[in-house]
């Protein structure tokens, strides 16, 4: 199946013939990479300006950490963190593509009126039965990720009889549910590090190109993750070079969107791969 290379942002078609970069903005006190955390509106706006100037195509704003073993916060707290930041970004950067990183439909409902364009749902619609309907009713782009369970328990001995088969069954099922609900623009994310051991992450990277089968854009979020820094015996702060290596590998396997902490470096990867890597 030929892969779709367009995203419909509320009626405007955006080409992703060239891979896109999603910059991470965490309005949280506990996300795993400290330098991605921002605690007030001014800090957030300065970081968004920086990311956009460095080449970010999308800004992904999260109000609740989804790192392994992270504790859940209430939807009210999540909204209170996100709403003023989303509103400020939309006002100051009206042309920016804004994604919200949440698995709660009530958060989406609240923030749709503030101008979000996209929902990045780690649960792929598993944790909230109203998510697909809310996304569809607001004509938002939807990122459908795979995880096995909630972040606080997802790394407690995750097991699969056949990882790739189970992920293909999962995506086929969830894509069908989303489309039946009226969600038209969907991106899939295999969910590196979400309910997966190091061996699972390695297998996933080796077979990453197989997700092109679905004919829709594929995103990966591997920036500075433990699969990189533990392999290199480093810390998240020391994992930039390793992230660059795996971003390059992901692009070679047909990935369309890189979700990253370090926009300028990811942009260099995309630009160089476009010239030397035969991405077309």
CA angle 123, 198, 267 (to 5 degrees): 70
**Catalytic residue from among 10, 225, 234, 267:** 225
* Ranges assigned E (strand) in 76-216: 97-101, 118-121, 141-145, 186-189
Burial of 177 (0-12, 13-18, 19+ CB in 10 A): middle
Q: Is 10 a catalytic residue?
A: no
259 is catalytic: yes
Q: Phi and psi of 192, rounded to 5°?
A: -55, 130
Distances (CA, A) of 158 to 147, 148, 149, 248: 10, 8, 9, 27
**3-state SS class at 21:** strand
**Of the residues 104, 224, 259, 267, which is catalytic?**
259
**Residues 5 and 15 sit within 8 Å (Cβ to Cβ):** yes
Residues in the chain: 280
Catalytic residues: 225, 259
């Amino acid at each position: 199946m030929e892969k779709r290379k367009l995203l419909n942002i509320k009626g405007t078609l955006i080409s992703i013939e060239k891979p896109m970069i999603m910059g991470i903005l965490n309005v949280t006190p506990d996300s795993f990479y400290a330098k991605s955390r921002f605690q007030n509106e001014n800090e957030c706006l300065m970081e968004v300006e920086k990311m956009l100037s460095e080449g970010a195509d999308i800004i992904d704003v999260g109000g609740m950490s989804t790192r392994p073993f992270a504790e859940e916060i209430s939807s009210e707290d999540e909204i209170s963190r996100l709403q003023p930041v989303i509103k400020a970004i939309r006002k100051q950067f009206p042309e920016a593509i804004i994604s919200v990183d949440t698995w709660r439909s009530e958060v989406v409902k609240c923030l749709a009126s503030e101008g979000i364009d996209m929902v990045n749902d780690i649960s792929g619609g598993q944790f909230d039965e109203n998510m697909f309907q809310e996304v569809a009713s607001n004509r938002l782009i939807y990122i459908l990720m795979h995880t096995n369970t909630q972040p606080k328990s997802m790394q407690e001995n995750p097991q699969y009889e056949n990882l790739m088969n189970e992920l293909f069954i999962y995506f086929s099922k969830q894509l069908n549910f989303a489309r039946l609900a009226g969600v038209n623009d969907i991106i899939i994310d295999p969910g590196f590090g979400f309910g997966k051991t190091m061996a699972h992450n390695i297998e996933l990277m080796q077979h990453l190109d197989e997700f092109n089968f679905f004919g829709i854009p594929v995103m990966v979020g591997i920036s500075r993750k433990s699969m990189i820094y533990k392999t290199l015996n480093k810390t998240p702060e020391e994992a930039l070079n390793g992230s660059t290596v795996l971003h390059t590998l992901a692009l070679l396997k047909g990935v369309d969107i890189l979700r990253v902490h370090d926009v300028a470096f990811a942009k260099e990867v995309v630009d160089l791969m476009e010239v030397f890597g035969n991405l077309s």
